[in-house]
Amino acid sequence: MKNALRLDKANGKLMGVCSGLANWSGIDVTIWRIGFVAAALFGIGAPVLIYIALGLIVD
């Protein structure tokens, strides 16, 4: 699969989730990181749980 979601641990900061999402979606990694931090600070959804789940489930 060419466009499969994979963690990018080489370019990632914590688990490579945001970097992998950036590679998969074509959206800049900075936007993903700002989105996760903003969502965590403003309590929108469960971004920390989603981040951890993606880090553990995605290859």
How many C-beta neighbours within 10 Å does residue 19 have?
21
Residue type at 51? Y
Identity at 29, one-letter amino acid code: V
Tell whether the model's pLDDT for residue 6 goes beyond 60.
Answer: yes
Decide: residue 21, CB within 10 A, 0-12 exposed, 13-18 middle, 19+ buried. Answer: buried
Is residue 34 pLDDT above 90, yes or no? yes
pLDDT of residue 2: 63
Mean pLDDT (whole number) for 28-54: 91
Q: Which two tokens stand for residue 56?
A: 């553990």
This prediction has a pTM of 0.83
Cα(52)–Cα(44) distance, integer angstroms:
16
- Taking only the tens place, the pLDDT of each residue in 47-57 is 889 899 999 99
Q: Under the phi-then-psi rule, with left for phi > 0, alpha for psi from -120 to 50, and beta for the rest, what region is 27?
A: beta
